[in-house]
Structure 1
Amino acid sequence: MNRVLVPRNLSPQSLPPHPDGGSLHALKGRSMGTTWSVLLVAPADDLRWLGAGVQQELDRVVAQMSHWEPDSDLCRYNAATAGSWHALPAEFMEVLEAAREYAQVSAGAFDPTIGPLVDAWGFGPVSQRDNPPSAAEIDAARARVGWQRLQLDDAGKRLLQPGGLQLDFSSIAKGYAVDQLARYLGRAGVDHWLVEVGGELRGQGCKPDGQPWWVELERVDESLTHTVLALHGLSVATSGDYRRYFEHEGRRYAHTLDPRSGWPVTHALASVTVLHPECMAADALATVLGVLEPDEAHDFATRHDFAAQFVLRSGGGFVERLTPAFKALASD
């Protein structure tokens, strides 16, 4: 069975013309511990400087927000002494402010200070593990987690390190990087493109032949409906417990951690896909929905009126649940 999703704002009349001499080109590279790719419509002569510009945008995000690079702004803040104030770049503060808003609206299901728990469970840069941490280790990590501890000065340009606070933007930075590339391409005069960073996607316009940027949504299992989306004016982010985990004594511990309990989630949700105009929002919201209980997550997405697809384990198989905004994209 196939499902086709088409944004209501996608029509030939709504799209800008393709540039003179423009054709379809592909750019790709590596960043943020993963791969990136850009499909775009532009003259061939523009490719070299466009590719260099894309890489520079990604390098800037890594230099500011990577929790793997010890010299990044984020890592230097995490290692700073208690009571010190830190002037941080505008992009960093933009992501931090957004992360704090998602933490507040989700009542802590999203928390940018989750770094100590990520490390305790072996899903961060410190060390990998194949057995769960002790209760004492979890309690010690939880004592250092809490988005309410984030303190900005009145101008919002400096951040206090109260001691032991450890930021982790891994649930929002890739989406932000995609948005930054979208903004860069817009400044460069490129109107038709498909951007992907580590599986997070955003598209605008169409191919030279008038066909949309068709993308296939991730499927946990082949039994589920095959869904394709015409990606114009939308971003796609998927969060799933099947991507990264370890097993110990017959139990699987997934990398999706609940900041409120300190433990990996154990509910029936296998994956969730969010569609949203901004990729940073899609990225963060996919994390929120992956942490919340399935019914609570569906109610959250419905209440905030964004498109989400939930895949849940049921009786040895999988079932899906869709929000009204997701169903509304299905073509008649």
Structure 2
Amino acid sequence: MGTTWSVRLAGAHGRTASLGAAIAVLLDRLVMDLSHWEPASALCRFNRSPSGTLHSLPGALREVLEAALAIAEETSGAFDPTLGALVDLWGFGPQGPVPVPPDPEALAQAASCCGWQKLRFDRTRGDAWQPGGLSLDLSGIAKGYAVDRVSALLIERGVPDHLVEIGGELRGSGLKPDGSPWWGAMESPDATVPEMVAALHGLAVATSGEYRRCFVNAGRHFGHTLDPHRAEPIDTGLLAVSVLHSSCMLADAYATALLALGLERGSRLATRANLSARFLSKRCPQSVEVLSPSLRAMLD
């Protein structure tokens, strides 16, 4: 998936090597279902398939796509899992970065193939219809799903005390050997705003921001989160959004959606959906931290 993973364990009792091997097998399997970066994955095979073809999706891809489409509907497309063609064109996919923004004609062509409502997906049978040129990219949700799956594997193997991290998304379960909780940071790209940390007792934290995967051209900053309506990187005035949730998959996807929505619309969604969210808004002379009602309640 174009990133790294790490796991911290307590009470593994000499089973670290065997558990590490089991985790690697699981992640390899998830990559072969979900990765936009692995050409042989089920996702990439779907993206390359001819127009008008029906595909039976493997379990992980089916589960993640169902969740992604539900959030796309809830957010009116602010989170859209069908933007793969645009992601690649802007240089944020496996083909690598681009030095300048794409040509408007190329953008229009790619945008014409995008749109979550164009994807016909049968939730009962797990079948997806390729309308032609539609390219899935689950980068905004797949890492969180993988974190949840690794955590579930460790619990099944009798290791309930652990911290799982994939690409910066975290899920904690149980306690450290000294009885203290696993702590997860809500990142602050602006040094004027300190990091916020949360005790991850069966909780996950995911952060989406425009400060890592980005490029600058002609004095303008272009981040990796795309506005599906404008076919270009968002410009919502937010530096980052972090979400705490019992599901890392949902924390991952909602963090992306709230970032794309911006502070005003994102705050309304966080309140309506009872999401524990932290927004960092770009202001002068320093950034401003805004917490959703659910997250403020957790601090009390």
For Structure 1 versus Structure 2, the TM-score category normalised by the shorter chain is over 0.9
Q: Answer yes or no: is 1:56 the counterpart of 2:56.
A: no
Cα distance, 1:122–1:43 mapped onto 2, change above 3 Å: closer
- Partners in 2 of 1:142 and 1:118 — Cα distance? 10
Kindly report which structure 2 residues correspond to 1:29-40, keeping only aligned pairs within 5 A, or say none.
Answer: 32-40=1-9
Residue 80 of structure 1: which of 35, 49, 55 is its match? Answer: 49
Amino acid at match of 2:8: L
- Partners in 2 of 1:241 and 1:91 — Cα distance? 28
- Deviation, structure 1 residue 33: 2.4
Amino acid at match of 2:190: D
Residue 325 of structure 1: which of 284, 294, 299 is its match? Answer: 294
TM-score normalised by the chain length of structure 2: 0.96
Contact 2:162 2:173 in 1 (8 A): yes
Amino acid at match of 1:220: P
- Deviation, structure 1 residue 310: 0.5
Kindly report which structure 2 residues correspond to 1:251-266, keeping only aligned pairs within 5 A, or say none.
Answer: 251-266=220-235
Kindly report which structure 2 residues correspond to 1:203-222, keeping only aligned pairs within 5 A, or say none.
Answer: 203-222=172-191
- Partners in 2 of 1:293 and 1:111 — Cα distance? 15
Q: Answer yes or no: is 1:288 the counterpart of 2:257.
A: yes
User: Counterpart of 1:92 in 2: which secondary structure?
Assistant: helix
Corresponding residue for 1:306? 275
Corresponding residue for 2:58? 89
- Deviation, structure 1 residue 226: 3.6
- Deviation, structure 1 residue 120: 1.6
Cα deviations by residue, 1:35-91 (Å, 9 ceiling, x for unpaired): 211111224332222111111111111111111111111111100111111112111
Of the two, which has the highest radius of gyration? 1
Gaps of at least 5 residues in structure 2 are none
Corresponding residue for 2:141? 172
Gaps of at least 5 residues in structure 1 are 1-31
- Partners in 2 of 1:130 and 1:169 — Cα distance? 24
Corresponding residue for 1:232? 201
Amino acid at match of 2:117: Q
Cα deviations by residue, 1:275-310 (Å, 9 ceiling, x for unpaired): 100000000001101101211111110111011110
- Partners in 2 of 1:59 and 1:302 — Cα distance? 37
Q: Answer yes or no: is 1:184 the counterpart of 2:139.
A: no
Residue 272 of structure 1: which of 225, 241, 256 is its match? Answer: 241
Kindly report which structure 2 residues correspond to 1:38-187, keeping only aligned pairs within 5 A, or say none.
Answer: 38-153=7-122, 155-187=124-156
Cα RMSD over matched residues?
A: 1.4
Corresponding residue for 1:195? 164
Cα deviations by residue, 1:180-218 (Å, 9 ceiling, x for unpaired): 011111211211111111100000111122111123321
User: Counterpart of 2:226 in 1: which secondary structure?
Assistant: coil
Once structures 1 and 2 are overlaid, which stretch shifts more, 96-105 or 249-258? 249-258
Cα deviations by residue, 1:254-283 (Å, 9 ceiling, x for unpaired): 111111221111121011111100000000
TM-score normalised by the chain length of structure 1: 0.87
- Deviation, structure 1 residue 128: 2.2
User: Larger relative CO (CA 8 A, sep 6+): 1 or 2?
Assistant: 1
- Deviation, structure 1 residue 116: 1.0
- Partners in 1 of 2:197 and 2:73 — Cα distance? 33
- Deviation, structure 1 residue 127: 4.4
Cα deviations by residue, 1:120-177 (Å, 9 ceiling, x for unpaired): 2111123421111122121111100011111134742221112111000110100000
Corresponding residue for 2:266? 297
Cα distance, 1:183–1:160 mapped onto 2, change above 3 Å: same
- Partners in 2 of 1:120 and 1:328 — Cα distance? 41
